[in-house]
């Protein structure tokens, strides 16, 4: 979805659809969504991006009743978002912005 329109990119480099995105430089600072999702999945700081794919797949396959039972102290609104967040993080960072899956924090 984030790549939709990329074939119409009039620039040398478009990461998100046909929107120009300059080459990234320096250190990447994640949003709180990235932090809390990786923390929820208990991902290692070094390999968190590569580990997000299997963690997200496992989570998204779980039955809702089992997820709620496994995480009784986690707010339901947060549980609802972790499946989407895991896919969004990979789509944004790896598929669109080109971060290597072994990108460490």
pLDDT tens, residue order, the chain (105 aa): 445 555 567 656 666 655 656 666 665 555 788 889 999 999 988 888 899 999 999 999 999 999 999 999 999 999 999 999 999 899 888 887 778 887 655
Q: Specify the pLDDT at position 74.
A: 96
Report CA dihedral (2, 57, 78, 46) to the nearest 10 degrees.
-80
The residue to which tokens 């932090």 are assigned = 35
Segments of the chain assigned E as strands: 14-16, 19-20
The torsion angles phi and psi of 20, rounded to 5 degrees, stand at -65, 135
Q: Specify the pLDDT at position 28.
A: 54
What are the sequence ranges of the domains in the chain?
A: 27-96
């Amino acid at each position: 979805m984030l790549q939709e329109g990329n074939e119409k990119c009039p620039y040398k480099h478009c990461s998100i659809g046909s929107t120009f995105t300059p080459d990234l430089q320096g250190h990447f600072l994640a949003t709180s969504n990235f932090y809390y999702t990786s923390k929820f999945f208990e991902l290692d700081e070094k390999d968190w991006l590569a580990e997000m794919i299997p963690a997200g797949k496992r989570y998204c396959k779980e039955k809702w009743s089992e997820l709620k039972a496994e995480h009784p102290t986690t707010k339901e609104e947060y549980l609802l978002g972790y499946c989407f967040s895991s896919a969004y993080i990979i789509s944004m960072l790896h598929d669109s912005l080109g971060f290597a899956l072994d990108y460490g924090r």
